[in-house]
Amino acid sequence: ATVSVLYCKKRGGKETSMHRTVFALLAATAAGRIINFEDVGGIAESSDLETCWKNGRLLNTTLNGLQKGDTFLLPNKTFHTMGGIYVNDISDVSIQIDGTLSYSNDKKQWPRTTPGKDGRVLMCMHYTNITNVNFTSSGMGTFQGNGGEWWGVPGIGYLEIGENRPRLFQVSNGRNLLVENLMFLQSPYWTFTVNVDGMEVRNCHISARRTEEDGHGAIDITAFNTDGYDVTGKNVWIHDCSVWNQDDCIAVKDGSENMLFERIEASGLGLTIGSIASSVVRNITFRDCHMHKTVKGIYTKFRALSSPGSISDVLYENIVIDEPQQVPIWIGPAQQSDSSNACAAHPCSLCWPETPGAECNLPAFGSYANITLRNITINNPKESPGVIMANETNPMVNVVFDDVVVNNPGKKPWGDQYYHCVGVSNGVAKGKTWPVPPCFKNETSY
């Protein structure tokens, strides 16, 4: 896909006059008002800094003023804006994005909680306490994050900027939401972050990449922390969507239950549960998904825990993974670093097992139970098929691989064992599963 780069820029010379005398055209309908952002003073197709600030202030005022039955309409034009759009306590409204909302990439001007470059950034757009809200488009609306400036120079940008970057779209305490027909491009940080009870997402697409390379090379992968759909809560259905990013494609977070993800094209760090701490995550299903040249594929993970946490009643079903770049199945500890030291083990090092001395710690308080992989096809992985590991003081129970087939598996790093498999007390391989993890009972049909 072609990613267009839209951004706000400072206009040289003297200040540009942008005064407009426009009356709000509030079309009364039986369901409420239609509030057209341009008609109430929004400025389209202009990217200077003054316009970004004006559009940002107007978005804050207009969205917070929505009443039950209203529809906010961003027409099919490009509106450049500053971030820090915070919307609270709205219900029974529609937000229709027919055009593009393009956020400034000016880090120095970006709004922060306190002045200066070390002040915490505000999010691009953050909704809190919202109920019965539809985010929609009559075609395909776009949120453009212009994340390149926030990712920085490949290889060193993360060391300079860290994780003090704005999330593109965030909802806290949402109920009964519909999100459809929207694109989320080039997020500076996490893309779609929600805490909800009741949400459907359909026909939405996420892209975060530095190049158009067909894969996740050394340049692209440095767009760190560009998570796709980060979901906390319950009663969630995400379907017929796509994501290409450089971190978790989907991440089910702490305390979540009753979620279904299906018919998704994904490429990044995986269809992920985690990383989970001291909470209960249950009844999560991923099915009918395709992953092309992803980094990881199926990925469940615990952080370091100080008290018990669990992941249970999980199903991955009817998933095809083509040419994954790393281990395509990982059920175990989070492989990550939470510091500037890329090889730090939090709890499992990104440098493990290739780098001598790198650690992969297994959280004793993390419990896995009733994990099923069914009808999984993995074609031509560059590395060994998988990692399945838990602390032997708290082993996994009821892990089932049913028709999990790896065609032409790589030999690195586990050789003819194919899987690194420890801390599993009750693992079973069924159907046409091959290769069989060495710590599983072999009940295959061959």
Q: Let me know: does 112 contact 123? Beta carbons within 8 Å.
A: no
Query: What is the β-pairing status of strands 91-97 and 125-136?
Result: parallel
- pLDDT, tens digit (0-9, with 9 covering 90-100), for 421-441: 999 999 999 999 999 999 999
Q: Is the pLDDT of residue 89 over 60?
A: yes
CA–CA separation, 418 and 215 (whole Å): 23
For residue 356, cis peptide bond before it (omega within 30 degrees of 0): no
The answer to whether 438 and 417 are in contact (CB under 8 A) is yes
Cα–Cα distances in angstroms (integers) from residue 116 to residues 112, 120, 131, 145, 150, in the given order? 8, 9, 35, 21, 16
Q: Is 150 left (phi over 0), alpha (psi -120 to 50) or beta?
A: alpha
Residues 312-366 have pLDDT tens digits of: 999 999 999 999 999 999 999 999 998 889 899 999 999 999 999 999 999 999 9
Q: What is the pLDDT of residue 21?
A: 24
- pTM (2 d.p.): 0.93
**Structural tokens at position 111:** 């709004």
Q: Is 317 helix (H, G, I), strand (E, B) or coil?
A: strand
Query: Which whole number is the average pLDDT over 80-91?
Result: 98
Please answer whether residues 396 and 388 qualify as being in contact, where contact means their C-beta atoms are separated by less than 8 angstroms. Answer: yes
From the list 242, 371, 349, 217, the residue with the least C-alpha distance to 295 is 217
Q: How far is CA 124 from CA 82, 87, 368, 436, in A?
A: 8, 11, 36, 46
Cα separation of 121 and 232, whole Å? 22
- What is d(CA 173, CA 167) in angstroms, rounded to the nearest whole number? 16
For residue 30, give every residue at least 6 positions away whose Cβ sits within 8 Å of its Cβ, in sequence order, or none: none
Residue 31: pLDDT over 90: no
- The secondary structure of residue 359, as a DSSP letter, is -
Q: Is the pLDDT of residue 16 over 70?
A: no
Is 142:99 a contact under the CB 8 Å cutoff? yes
> What is the DSSP secondary structure assignment for residue 17, as one 8-state letter?
P
Distance CA 208, CA 270 (A): 14
Rounded to whole angstroms, how far apart are CA atoms 19 and 14?
A: 15
Give backbone dihedrals phi and psi of 57, rounded to 5 degrees, phi first.
-65, -40
Per-residue tokens: 231: 């979901």
Q: What is the mean pLDDT of residues 247-265?
A: 98
Predicted pLDDT at 9? 43
Cα gap 404→338, rounded to integer Å? 32
pLDDT tens digits, one per residue of 381-403: 999 999 999 999 999 999 999 99
Taking the C-alpha atoms of residue 90 and residue 130, their distance in angstroms, rounded to an integer, is: 5
Q: Is the pLDDT of residue 1 over 70?
A: no
- Distances 193 to 196, 409, 412 between C-alpha atoms, Å: 10, 34, 35
**Do residues 175 and 130 make contact, with C-beta atoms less than 8 angstroms apart?**
yes
CA distance 230 to 422: 29
Per DSSP, 54 falls in state H
Res. 26: pLDDT tops 90: no
CA distance 352 to 358: 5
What is the structure's pLDDT at 29? 35
